[in-house]
Amino acid sequence: MASLATTFGRGAMTNHWVDIKNADVVVIMGGNAAEAHPCGFKWVTEAKAHNNATLIVVDPRFTRSAAVADYYAPIRSGSDIAFLGGLINYLLSNDKIQHEYVKRFTDATFLVNDGYRFEGGLFSGYDPATHAYDKASWAYQKGPDGFVVTDDTLQHPRCVFNLLKQHYSRYTAEMVARVTGTPREQFLKVCELIAATSAPDKTTTFMYALGWTQHSVGTQMIRTTAMVQLLLGNIGMAGGGINALRGHSNIQGLTDLGLLSNMLPGYLTLAGDKEQDFKTFLDKRAFKPLRPGQMSYWQNYPAFHVSLMKSWYGDAATRDNNWCYDWLPKLDKVYDVLQVFELMHQGKLNGYVAQGFNPLAAFPDKAKISRALANLKFLVVIDPLATETSEFWKNFGEFNEVNPAAIKTEVFRLPSGCFAEEDGSLVNSSRLLQWHYKGEDPPGEAKGDAEIIAGLFLKLRELYRTEGGAFPDPIRNLTWPYRIPASPSAEELAREFNGKALDNVTDPKDPTKVLAKAGEQLAGFAQLRDDGSTACGCWIFSGAWTQVGNMMARRDNSDPSGLGNTPNWAFAWPANRRIIYNRASCDAAGKPWDPRRTVIAWNAKATQWQGMDVPDMRPDAAPEQNVGPFIMNPEGVARLFGVDKLADGPFPEHYEPFETPLGTNPLHPAVVSNPAARLFKDDREALGSAKEFPYIATTYRLTEHFHFWTKHARLNAILQPEQFVEIGEELAKEKGIRSGDQVTVSSKRGHIKAVAVVTKRLKALVVDGKLLHTVGIPIHWGFKGVAKNGYLANTLTPFVGDATTQTPEFKTFLVTIEKA
Amino acid sequence: MALQSLDIKRRSATTTPSAGIRSTPELAKLIDVSKCIGCKACQAACMEWNDLRDDIGTTAGTYDNPRDLTEHSWTVMRFAEVEPEPGRLEWLIRKDGCMHCADPGCLKACPAPGAVVQYHNGIVDFHEEHCIGCGYCVTGCPFNIPRLSRADAKVYKCTLCADRVAVGLEPACVKTCPTGAIMFGTKTDMLKQAAGRITDLKRRGFAKAGVYDPKGVGGTHVIYLLQHADRPELYSDLPDNPSISPMVSLWKGAVKPLTSLAFGMIAVGAFFHYLVKGPNRVPEEREQEVDQ
Ligand code: SF4
């Protein structure tokens, strides 16, 4: 998400599932949609059957997606930036870019600060002591008017376009083949197929998932693709875009609602330690336009933030107390999951609530997680299932060899309902909020999550009220306006995140016009105010439950355009827009690049943007006004140069996985792996080398199962009963392993045993002159459930995280394999 | 199930004519192997609709699970890794199950009156209440589909959701398939649909794409669309030119003139017992019961 937000302004799938049917070329890379998203995959089939689309799959394994692809190319796990950087180089050197688009809708013409450098694998500003960058030099040049200096001729050596060319000139087809193991011809074939969609009326869509996020350079892998799509002019177009396929049905909702340690709902952010002053906090986030006339929509940040605080604290939030700013935590550092478990491991964190997730199975280095959990005083598990985490203290023989007597952690298990046992909305990858109704009551003593959390809150509040405490205000003053305080309903919560008027909201252009009367539900986030007259629990969801009613429950699937837009089916954030950045689907004059797939167009007579979708643009902004299509970016355009948004550089660079099979980086041997990645000291020592562990391992999901849940379900267990690992025929031969044999796979951190599946679908690749084998490790087994008991795959994975998002590197590490 | 007696066109070991006042169009299920992603949703749907649960098995070194058809698993996906041309890997995933032949070997082989029926719409169904557990249909089937249950000595196989189809619904697997790889309709429509797909596949480089609707069994009501129609064996040994075992034809020829059904049964039973024996795993007592 970070990569997309850095490039385009919003961290979400740009298009939507149904729109995939409009693509000319579909690329599945960094994911395996047929396997992990079989239902959504139907739109790929549609694109092939009805739009003559070509499906390309690039993956270390010949996957279920590859089984129906028109073209498959193998790649070494973890080397995607080299491949995609090579693609950028191919597009630039073969002049296969959408020139007008690049010039007008990206920062290609912007000049970059003279201090910015990239040398020997490092960007300017690196501090080896802290493993972090000072990002000051990663900036645009600004003129005396405060705006960025540009060169429309693209001649200036410091313009983004030329720096981009220079950066990726090193990524020749030969270098790509050497780093990725993809045979040169196959790489070039993929380039050629994708490059054809640089024509203004042709589109490629990219579909990716955790195959890109779960690397120490995951964010940058995705960003490279975002840049490719900009060069091809494919963002904002029907059938284009970069489509982040989320790994859980509501994980998009999780990030939208800010359930990350440094976020607030709607991608608002928590303040850092140094941001004690409210005004500076807001100013820093309410970006001023970097080019004349740009919308820079985050200028409305104060309205979003104040409305959130009004929603949380009601009358207690006033202008005088800065809308309770002092009650918000100020971060000394980011408390991502790796950091939290590191602290737990050090004994510095002694209570933990695991709600709806299974850290023992889901986080890297199971042994470390297990030791960390054993340091806790208490662990609360809120889950519909008896998870491995909730029984981490129990001995399950070889699958969980612990000594219960030595573990003092007190575990509380609070059984919750599952999604089918409650009303509510789920946000899918398409940013679509769809309402659903409960099918059954939760069994036994299980309760809905809202009820469980409400119970905890009410008890805590009572304790703070009666006994006081270190800092009671934020708890005592939290609004709790629910009809049954012990059980807030889904409807009440949804109305709350949509927002309502606390006072009459009037039209800024005509104050006599009342847009929403006090007490009414708001129609959308345009009605939010920074003066305390509105309350809104998540600004991007505003419009989901208006005065008209529950927009998420709409079920009109009519599709007037035939492009699958269905504007009256449920509600998509933002503002029910289905394809975001859709202004970019038109040329400078407001005419669609591809009239057959018109998303919106400028209607000069009506002086309005109109079309099948909600324009992602001020509706009356005439094309002559040159308002850029990326309205969330202060530039108004998308960023090829990531400025200071990401922790590890403004341009993506190939770095080796932390457990590299090569031991070097052919692009710059002195800097092998991501210099800014998240890696704690002890974990560095738990990294293995290729000498001991010569094979690349990668973990993944199977269609038959969903994470660690469905091994509890008989049907799924029948379809895929027992843990296995996959190896290629060459490696099998070398090791004397036959299909069906029991094998042991070990990494520096532990071992698992499983059945071997010997397959032609995992080919050895020649990388940097070495023949490299890959071991494939599906993740779905554990020691709870009805499927055959097995080992948690994360026994093997390293405790390393991406530099910006800290997502663990589950996709590439080193192992060895033997017949058990 | 015998609720649709008006729709029955043929019954096993029956010489009286079937009901003929109602006719239904000939239906077919088209399995487009080129669209199948092997997700097994159809397998799950089959188990759910028919309320069957197989054992939780083991992994034998492939993705095939359950490993084979059983009395509980009426359809399974068969995964084949093949290289039709050197260096060009394909993962051909075929949904295996009853083909609902126009000329069904099981029905012909079955000595029990009405244990196997064929409907006017083409569906071949087992009516287990009439099944005597002899297992001759297993031998009669050129596709190795029927499975004899050890628990109750009855045979089971895909019904093409005859119960759903009878009330105007599509088979459960068809409804579930996320990619539209399984389609259902009149056989004419399915062949038309297949023709369009063949054009598309040919354009994508599969020169020999075509339909599998083998003539040796009079055509089938489950038809495959194959990328390599000239080489069905690539698809986990789909028979190239299936036909009913000559043994079945032989006894069929002999039995026709016989009027006494009981006599026919005994004669045929003995004949088969002598000839085949192999695939038939009926408990000994049961076999004797039938013979008596
Ligand atoms: S449901 Fe469809 S795609 Fe999935 S395995 Fe069955 S036929 Fe193939």
pLDDT the model gives residue B289: 39
State whether A65 and B37 contact (CB < 8 Å).
yes
Q: How confident is the model at residue A66 (pLDDT cuts 50, 70, 90)?
A: very high
A237 contacts: CB under 8 Å, gap ≥ 6: A203, A579, A584, A585, A593, A594, A597, A599
pLDDT the model gives residue B3: 59
State whether A757 and B35 contact (CB < 8 Å).
no
Quickly count: other Cβ atoms within 10 Å of residue A495's Cβ.
18
- Distance (Å) from the C-alpha of residue A71 to the closest C-alpha of chain B? 10
The partner residue sitting opposite A788, judged by closest CB among B43, B56, B178, is B56
CA–CA dist A599, A489 (Å, integer): 37
State whether B178 and A64 contact (CB < 8 Å).
no
Question: Measured from the CB, is residue B63 less than 6 Å from ligand 1?
Answer: no
The partner residue sitting opposite B56, judged by closest CB among A49, A759, A786, is A786
Q: How confident is the model at residue B288 (pLDDT cuts 50, 70, 90)?
A: very low
State whether A718 and B54 contact (CB < 8 Å).
yes
Question: Measured from the CB, is residue B46 less than 6 Å from ligand 1?
Answer: no
* Pair of tokens at residue A9: 């302004």
CA–CA dist A91, B166 (Å, integer): 57
pLDDT the model gives residue A643: 95
CA dihedral A75→A78→A83→A86, nearest 10 degrees, is -150
Ligand 1: which atom is nearest the Cα of residue B77?
A: 5
Residue of B nearest to A705 (CA): B39
Q: Does A704 touch chain B (CB under 8 A)?
A: yes
pLDDT, tens digit, for every residue of A238-271? 999 999 898 787 889 999 999 989 999 999 999 9
Q: What is the crossing angle of helices A366-374 and A337-345, to 10°?
A: 60
State whether A719 and B43 contact (CB < 8 Å).
yes
pLDDT the model gives residue B1: 42
Under 8 Å between Cβ of A414 and A390: no
Question: Measured from the CB, is residue B159 less than 6 Å from ligand 1?
Answer: no
Using a pLDDT cut of 90, give the percent of chain A over it: 96
Question: Measured from the CB, is residue B172 less than 6 Å from ligand 1?
Answer: no
Give the type of residue at A714. R
3-class SS string, A259-280: CCCCEEHHHEECEECCCCCHHH
| Helices (H), ranges, A418-476 | 449-467, 473-476
What domains does chain A contain, in order, with CATH numbers?
14-98+153-247 (3.40.228.10), 248-257+290-326+385-428+431-577 (no CATH), 678-819 (2.40.40.20)
Question: Measured from the CB, is residue B77 less than 6 Å from ligand 1?
Answer: yes
CA A52 to ligand 1 centroid distance, Å: 21
Question: Measured from the CB, is residue B76 less than 6 Å from ligand 1?
Answer: no
pLDDT the model gives residue B20: 82
Question: Measured from the CB, is residue B12 less than 6 Å from ligand 1?
Answer: no
pTM, to two decimals: 0.94
Question: Measured from the CB, is residue B37 less than 6 Å from ligand 1?
Answer: yes
pLDDT, tens digit, for every residue of A389-437? 999 999 999 999 999 999 999 999 999 999 999 999 999 999 999 999 9
| Helices (H), ranges, A142-277 | 160-168, 173-180, 184-195, 210-213, 218-231, 251-256
CA–CA dist A290, B21 (Å, integer): 80
- Distance (Å) from the C-alpha of residue B266 to the closest C-alpha of chain A? 40
Q: Report the range of poorest mean pLDDT among A43-47, B87-91, B264-268.
A: B264-268
Under 8 Å between Cβ of A749 and A365: yes
pLDDT the model gives residue B244: 87
Complex-level ipTM beyond the 0.90 threshold: yes
Q: How confident is the model at residue A678 (pLDDT cuts 50, 70, 90)?
A: confident
Q: Does A62 touch chain B (CB under 8 A)?
A: yes
Q: List chain A residues with CB under 8 Å of B34.
A: 68
* Pair of tokens at residue B255: 């039995």
Mutate to test the pocket of ligand 1, among B78, B92, B176, B177 (most ligand atoms within 8 A of CB): B177
* β-strands A742-747, A750-759 pairing: antiparallel
pLDDT the model gives residue B4: 73
Cβ contacts below 8 Å, chain A against chain B, sum to: 119
Mutate to test the pocket of ligand 1, among B43, B65, B78, B179 (most ligand atoms within 8 A of CB): B179
Question: Measured from the CB, is residue B41 less than 6 Å from ligand 1?
Answer: yes
Residue A250, classed as helix, strand or coil, is: coil
pLDDT the model gives residue B250: 64
CA–CA dist B190, B182 (Å, integer): 10
pLDDT the model gives residue B17: 87
Q: Is the pLDDT of residue B263 over 60?
A: no
Question: Measured from the CB, is residue B165 less than 6 Å from ligand 1?
Answer: no
Peptide bond into A574 cis (omega under 30): yes
CA–CA dist A33, A36 (Å, integer): 5
- Distance (Å) from the C-alpha of residue A380 to the closest C-alpha of chain B? 32
DSSP type of residue A520: P
Q: Is the pLDDT of residue A615 over 70?
A: yes
pLDDT, tens digit, for every residue of B204-248? 999 999 999 999 999 999 999 999 999 999 999 999 999 988 877
Q: Is the pLDDT of residue A62 over 70?
A: yes
Q: List chain B residues with CB under 8 Å of A67.
A: 36-38, 90-93
pLDDT, tens digit, for every residue of A112-154? 999 999 999 999 999 999 999 999 999 999 999 999 999 999 9
Q: Which of residues 720-749 of A touch B (CB under 8 A)?
A: 720-724, 738-741
Q: Does B259 touch chain A (CB under 8 A)?
A: no
State whether B57 and A42 contact (CB < 8 Å).
no
Q: Report the range of poorest mean pLDDT among A29-38, A337-346, A797-806, B239-248.
A: B239-248
Hey, whose CA ends up nearest to atom 2 of ligand 1? B177
pLDDT the model gives residue B284: 42
- Distance (Å) from the C-alpha of residue B77 to the closest C-alpha of chain A? 10
CA B36 to ligand 1 centroid distance, Å: 5
Ligand 1: which atom is nearest the Cα of residue B37?
A: 3
Place of tokens 């192997």: B33
The partner residue sitting opposite A42, judged by closest CB among B43, B91, B180, is B180
If 0-12 CB within 10 Å is exposed, 13-18 middle and 19+ buried, where does residue B164 land? middle
Q: List chain B residues with CB under 8 Å of A760.
A: 81, 83, 89
Instruction: Please indicate whether residue A42 or residue B273 has the higher confidence score (pLDDT).
Output: A42
pLDDT, tens digit, for every residue of B152-194? 999 999 999 999 999 999 999 999 999 999 999 999 999 999 9
* Pair of tokens at residue A426: 């789920």
pLDDT the model gives residue B21: 84
Q: Is the pLDDT of residue B274 over 60?
A: no
Q: How confident is the model at residue B253 (pLDDT cuts 50, 70, 90)?
A: low
Q: Does A710 touch chain B (CB under 8 A)?
A: no
CA–CA dist A351, A369 (Å, integer): 14
Q: Is the pLDDT of residue B270 over 90?
A: no
**Distance of CA A704 to CAs A64, A587, A782, B39, Å?**
12, 45, 15, 7
Q: Is the pLDDT of residue B86 over 80?
A: yes
Under 8 Å between Cβ of B201 and B209: yes
pLDDT the model gives residue B249: 67
Q: Does B195 touch chain A (CB under 8 A)?
A: no
Q: List chain A residues with CB under 8 Å of B65.
A: 704, 718-721
Place of tokens 């943007």: A609
Which phi and psi angles does A714 have, rounded to 5°? -60, -45
- Distance (Å) from the C-alpha of residue A710 to the closest C-alpha of chain B? 13
The partner residue sitting opposite A720, judged by closest CB among B48, B65, B180, is B65
Distance of CA A310 to the CA centre of its chain: 28
Question: Measured from the CB, is residue B40 less than 6 Å from ligand 1?
Answer: yes
Q: Report the range of poorest mean pLDDT among A188-197, A714-723, B238-247.
A: B238-247
CA–CA dist B102, B122 (Å, integer): 6
Hey, whose CA ends up nearest to atom 1 of ligand 1? B177
CA dihedral A611→A614→A620→A624, nearest 10 degrees, is -70
Under 8 Å between Cβ of A62 and A91: no
Q: Is the pLDDT of residue B282 over 60?
A: no
